[in-house]
A and B are shown apart, each in its own frame.
Chain A
Amino acid sequence: MMLRVEALTLSFGGVRALNEVGFEVAEGEFFGILGPNGAGKTSLFNCLSGLVAPTGSVTVEGTELLGRRPHEIAELGVARTFQNLGLFGSMSVTGNILVGAHRQISGGALSAALRWPRTFRSERQARERADELIDLLGLGAYRDATVDTLPYGIRKRVEIAKAVASGPKLLLLDEPVAGMNHEETDQFVEFVLELKARMGLTIVMIEHDVPMVMRISDRILALDFGEVIGVGTPEEIRHNERFISAYLGTPAGADAPAEPQLHGGNR
């Protein structure tokens, strides 16, 4: 099993962001996570990447993640993107991707200072891989551009490139297409599936675009108020009563999703 989450509980003061959450993700799976705003989706990712200290258990290929620091979890091959982007603004696109590739490059301060050949060879190889990734994601025109100067849609792509550059086994994507239009979303689906196939990734993706999630996920987890309200194939989730009422307002709303698509808004 690539990822196993058991009895995961996280509280912020009085607020239970996650309550006894449990699910499993198999190797090579495309696993979607759906849930209204404030359901605890990002909090779940924060648990997986070591940014908060929940109770319960999270294992990746049998290794316990809880209690480990974020950089140690990265070492285990877990990469993630941030909903609000976690980019390094003054660096170029290449620079950001190379930071993502940090754990794939060898050498420290001393070997760099002395221009140790092995260090610089590893550096050159990383730059070649970064260029491949840049081509794959259609970022060629922005290769040396400072990230701060780029439009949001491009920065979202850089965020994904940065996460993928670490050569992860498990990739966590937090709302990767939020704010993108139809065409950009289709492009995203195309390259994320390409990346998955090429690199043998297991992907867990949080996203609000229900049709898109249903289309590309093998299985889906539905969350509401920090609780699991359903896990299953897109078909099973589509017909899950609790999911329909949580996500689309009322069971009837499934056919008329025009009004408040995400019930409750910000609660």
Chain B
Amino acid sequence: MHDAQTQPTVYHKNSLGGSDIKVEVRDVSVSYGEKQALFNVSLDIPDKSVTAFIGPSGCGKSTFLRCMNRMNDTIDGARVSGSLKIDGAEVNDRAVDPVVLRASVGMVFQKPNPFPKSIYDNVAYGPRIHGLASGRDELDAIVEQSLRKAGLWAEVSDRLQDPGTGLSGGQQQRLVIARAIAVNPEVILMDEPCSALDPIATAKIEDLIDELRENYCIIIVTHSMQQAARVSQMTAFFHMGSLIEVGPTEEIFTNPLESRTQDYITGRFG
């Protein structure tokens, strides 16, 4: 049995420190009540690229993802320590309003969770509560833009008033992405966004992620090695609450430095 706390993270070349760093994480730990779920994670996440978190289930990927938009605040008994800066601004600062933070850090969940409202209202909800549009026309424009960016416009443009819950699973997930994009975030967090989808819908979402990369910093949790390899530029491997190894995706998959990374990628456990 490894003692995770004593394991230092293995950083590949260029993976800690650099010029276009969006998120800078230092010594972040999370515990739920008595139980510690994340141990001293330090990591830099580059802007305008896709970073994948991989690891066996229960290793703390989602927990870490939730640190980025302080969703852990909504869980009773969750405590977060360490420093997490987005564009140099401390996220864990008491002065930071999580509501404001979440407007710039969007999140997409494992199971598509559109509101039981119309497609239009789903996308328009964020802009409405943040007052991003000054009129009906502007709101219409934001909705259309977001749906276009999420690659859903062609499919739903003629039925914007239909309920969002009536769409197929893949369409719902893209609707949720459109909803996240609509508030103009800088970082988009995705927690296993394709695990509830069929391969065709998955391929569409992956293409979408590849397009979105040009404008956003995307962090995706996945349990599919292939998906991580296909869509991400950076990969971080977690195990039992510790960040084991992080580096450019190609290197992690072709030349892992840690034996556990190697074992996980080749499917020996997980």
Are A and B part of the same complex? no
